[in-house]
Structure 1
Amino acid sequence: MADLDALLEETRHACAQNNWRQGHAGLAEVDATRPLGADDLLLLGHSAYMLGRDEEYVAALKRAFDVYLAAGELPAAARTAFWIGHSLMYQGQMTLAGGWFETAGRLLDEHGEDCAEHGYLLIPVWLRQMGEGDWEAGLANAAEAARIADRFADADLAALARDEQARALVMLGRPDEGLKLADELLLRVGSGAHSPIVRGILYCNTIIFCRDGHLVPAAVAWTDALTAWCAACPEMVAHNGLCRVHRAEILQLRGAWDDAVSEAGEAATRFRDGVLNQIAIGQAHYRQGEVHRLRGDWMAAEESFRKAAGIGYDPQPGMALLRLGQGRTSVAAAAIRRAVAEQTGPLQRADLLPAYVEIMVAAEDLEAAGTAVEGLVRIASAHRSESLSAGVDTATAQVALAAGDAGQALRSARRSFLRWSEIGAPYDAARARVIVGLACRSLGDEDSAELEFDAARVTFESLGAVPAIQDLGSRTRICAAGLSTRELEVLRLLARGLSNREIANQLVISEHTVSRHLQNIFGKLGVGTRAAAGAYAFEHGLA
């Protein structure tokens, strides 16, 4: 008996030190000889959760629930019932989850006294409301839960409630208020005041809504904090997959593409246990696909996007941009139109509209591109963030340049470059510099154009952004010849030996339009035949 008591104390200490495997093994050993009490069953469940063993977690909590209930400890039984329902809810077992939430509510009614557990039962209520887009109602319930938490000094409930208040405020277009709450939470979450499960939820939830709200600096700060926690808990499986996906996205933004692929690969292959990690796998494949696309590895990109889609993660806008890079403009246009039409939430549309603008400009549908820019402006005005503003400036510059308004393109592209540089996004900043250079060249300032092109080229080469390097080379050569983007597409297809009808079918334009483009191409290149135009394309690296 004494040995078991000593082992129990040792395992409790191991869990307190984040040694989850030792703690779980010790608790299981004690339990095999002498059934654990309710509190230790919770600890057994928590250690299973941290190791990514969701079924063991729920099973231990169910046993703890029975012990609490038999002892007449109704609030403790209700709280345990809530966490069982919470886990089942995230596993997609909504009927069973609802049953446990109802059980918790009935026990609290039977208890008949005010307690912190009433606040926990507001969590599924606000999650449903926010999931349906009723952010005001969700905000009100989260605020009520925060008041309950303060009344009973419940640190976990207080943190969860204020984090959800922050999320609702961000989604309501009040990011300054939301970030004040999130910033305060970031200072507290690392203090050890919260249980490990709640701490993981706080990290992941906050990163997600900061990312969804395009609040890049906040997302970076929370991702760095989560990364540090994961490093300090090497045995932890839960949350590690999501952590690596979030980190991969930040690394891609910062230009550390090798590290981004590595982190996403870990999420997709190593950390697969636990419901949260399962959610991360599709995102991990998508993130790998994005880096492959930016590097011009079309086959690897397509494979990653298809893996993401197979898991149920929509690989847009990456797949549409991949098709654009492959020269399949009409396919890209159809895909991005579908993706944008499917999304109704403004911030979800904001994830897609920059790619939509780029593809519509390539398809010479400037009306659609301009309408999309207007929509992006409205979203950025309602949900203030530097990355949204940078995206607006980039899109505005792309449309203005295509429409022949070099002055507007120059002003918008310069703002875009400054904003992306401040955010710390070298690839996006370099793309903005290309537009600055093209606008300068259109305005007759060749020296400034070359400076911008050279600076962008250095960045692209350092990143290994092969398509961007090739596109820059084509654009600078095209400008010298005076060809438009569409004229270049026609010239490339001509050089491959396609007829006017085949070119028209490939680009989804009329044969008459193809003939007009060819007349313009012949004039600009100073040639008189298709053969001479094709030879020019091969000689100048345009084919």
Structure 2
Amino acid sequence: MPSADRRTTFWVALLAWVGCTADSYELAARFGDDVALRAGTYEVELGSPEMLGFLVRRAATVGGPVHRARSVGSLLATRAAEVRTSMVAHCQVTGQLAARLGFDPAVRECLTQTFARWDGRGEPAGLAGEDIALPVRVVHVADLAEVHHRIGGVDGAVAELLRRRGASLDPDVVDALIDHAEPLLDGLPDESSWAELIAADPAPRPLRNAELDRALEAIADFVDLKSPWFTGRSREIADLAAAAATKLGLPEADVQTVRRAGLLQGLGRTGVPNTIWDKPGPLTELERERMQLHAYYTSRVLRRMPALVDVAEVASMVQERLDGSGYHRGISGSAIPMTARVLAAADCYHALTRPRPHRPARSAAQAALDLRAEAAAGRLAPDAVEAVLVSAGHRAHRASVSPAGLTPREIEVLSLVAQAATSRQVAQQLGISPKTVGNHIERIYQKIGVSTRAGAALFAMEHGLVVRSPAP
């Protein structure tokens, strides 16, 4: 292939399926678990009778008897016309993403042919044979080969390609791959490698600073297409968290990390089916476990990119809580940096003030009360909560002006600990038990985000909390 076509093929292969978020909501409403639906489509031919049968079987499992009957009847009567509409939506938004990322018209045109078939039975209807761009034909073969290689090895991939040769797939491209199946397929790694991917890029174009931010904003928008309940969520969280980080006086580099983490904190949601995100009732225990995987998926995706390691760390902590009750790692206290504390508070506030399928939105006033209650319970950082609320337009809370939400007793304990007093000495001076002192110290360390006496002493000095005992 000419070098220009090779470049186009590289980017079409990477971008062709990002449009899946565009139609997840509608597909899940009709066919159930959208992740399982897409996995199942690799077993059937696009546009074939077996594909229609597959869709009918899926539709027959969703909703009550009347809903199922109507869904099945509509599919049969229209020969799954609504699925073609879904394909059009997928291609449109993928093309929009390519345009926003600055790709040339050749890449964007190829993306409109993502669901084309060699025999013309795909989408756009009638587009067939060599009228389909060569990069698209290559990607179709590579896509199917990769999936069936994971399932059945080289023999499984070859058998599936031969079954579809001349129907959905270009015979010449199939033959080219089969002629070199062993060296091509046996060399595939078990997991994708970021280094290998970058090395394969025919024309690398690094993104830096504002250009990178625009790309991350585009990703955030496409992630939020996963469900109408999330529309605009990532940008709004990012802006709120960045504003709060600025109010807290965090360094500019940390503010930038917080905003980027806010844009990407929802990335892992694409790996969780819409039957969970859009469920109008409470989740089962199994559904809740699947839902909580989204933070893990975010971490797995972003950690592959060296330039975003710091962002990955913060983005994947969005559901962690100071008392260890969060997910996905269940970390607590000083293990959660201030950047992640701010993002968690912003995420929580935004979620409370937006409707969800199982509840209406809370008022801003009620959300502020709820957020402060989370801080009082030791789950969210009080200073991060106050910064988020002020950034969201609320008045600063005047009931407690102590840093990190420390109580008067905790300030007394911190002051003595900072001066190297032992738990027994603190207990004697304050007239409480050593065990109670230990409990106070644990909470103090969680609130101020440290794990050592030296860290506590530095915090106390920074905030003017070291009170010297009067000389005897």
TM-score, with structure 1 as normaliser:
0.25
Give the structure with the higher percent helix. 1
Q: Which has the higher contact order (CA 8 A, sep 6+)?
A: 2
